[in-house]
């Protein structure tokens, strides 16, 4: 993985540890696994971030940060990945999750009103349709977390194998 590229855009861990609003966390932020860029930490952070992106509550980043501290995975990567569900993509993502939930439960596919946007329709109908919505969010979050974890591990492994082949190819054979 391109560690230097990731490190260039992430804030330094001492800056985050010294932040005045985060002092209440105490020594939880001093765990080195929260800041290391290794295969285990990054792949776990990808899973946490993708799962939290499907949680339909405000402040998903806080949930991702707390889960990453609990599971001891890379904190910045998990918080950044939550922004997959941003204000522009939230409507289609949650509508897809609702559709998955209705498919699992066996309800008929919902009919969307044409005079309102998907997000407005979803917020007005959430009281009547909360079960398939939450089930779809959980299933989509779990599947995306599993696929993200596996994809990050596989990508990291393939990158290491490629670097090893390049290194072995450039060495002079010893005779």
Domain assignment present for residue 93? The answer is no
Task: Answer whether residue 41 is part of any domain.
Answer: yes
Q: What is the pLDDT along the chain (175 residues), one digit of tens a residue?
A: 456 666 666 666 666 666 665 565 666 666 667 777 888 889 999 999 999 999 998 889 989 988 998 898 988 889 999 999 988 998 899 889 988 998 998 876 555 555 556 667 656 666 677 888 889 999 999 999 999 999 999 998 998 888 888 888 865 566 5
Is residue 40 in a domain? yes
Q: Is 94 contained in some domain?
A: no
Please check whether residue 60 lies inside any domain of the structure: yes
Query: Per-residue pLDDT tens for 78-96?
Result: 999 999 998 899 889 988 9
Nearest residue to 84 (alpha-carbon basis) of 61, 118, 53, 59: 53
Residue 123 inside a domain? The answer is no
Note whether 81 and 50 are within 8 A (CB): yes
Question: Quick check: 50 and 141 in contact, CB under 8 A?
Answer: yes
Sequence-ordered list of residues with C-beta below 8 angstroms from that of 67, at least 6 positions apart, any chain: 48, 51, 52, 78
Is residue 26 a part of any domain in this protein?
Answer: yes
- Residue of 17, 31, 16 lying closest to 70 (CA atoms): 31
Closest CA to 125 of 148, 150, 95: 95
Range of the structural domain that residue 44 is part of: 3-86+136-170
Q: What's the whole-model pTM score?
A: 0.74
R_g over Cα of the chain: 20
58, 20 contact by CB (below 8 A): no
Number of domains forming the structure of the chain = 1
The pLDDT of residue 63 is: 92
Domain-embedded: residue 102? no
**Rounded distance, CA 27 to CA 144, Å?**
31
């Amino acid at each position: 993985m391109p560690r230097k590229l990731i490190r260039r855009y992430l804030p330094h861990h001492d800056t985050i540890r010294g932040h005045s609003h985060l002092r209440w966390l105490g020594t939880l932020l001093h765990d080195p696994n929260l800041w290391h860029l290794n295969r285990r930490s990054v792949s776990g952070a990808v899973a946490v971030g993708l799962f939290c992106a499907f949680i339909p509550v405000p402040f998903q980043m806080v949930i991702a940060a707390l889960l990453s501290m609990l599971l001891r995975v890379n904190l910045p990567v998990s918080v950044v990945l939550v922004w997959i569900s941003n204000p522009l993509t939230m409507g289609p993502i949650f509508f897809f999750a609702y559709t998955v939930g209705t498919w699992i439960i066996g309800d008929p596919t919902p009919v969307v009103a044409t005079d309102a946007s998907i997000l407005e329709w979803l917020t007005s109908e959430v009281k009547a349709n909360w079960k398939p919505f939450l089930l779809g969010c959980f299933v989509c979050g779990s599947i995306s977390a599993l696929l993200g974890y596996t994809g990050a591990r596989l990508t990291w492994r393939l990158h290491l194998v490629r670097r090893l082949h390049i290194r072995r190819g450039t060495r002079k054979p010893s005779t």
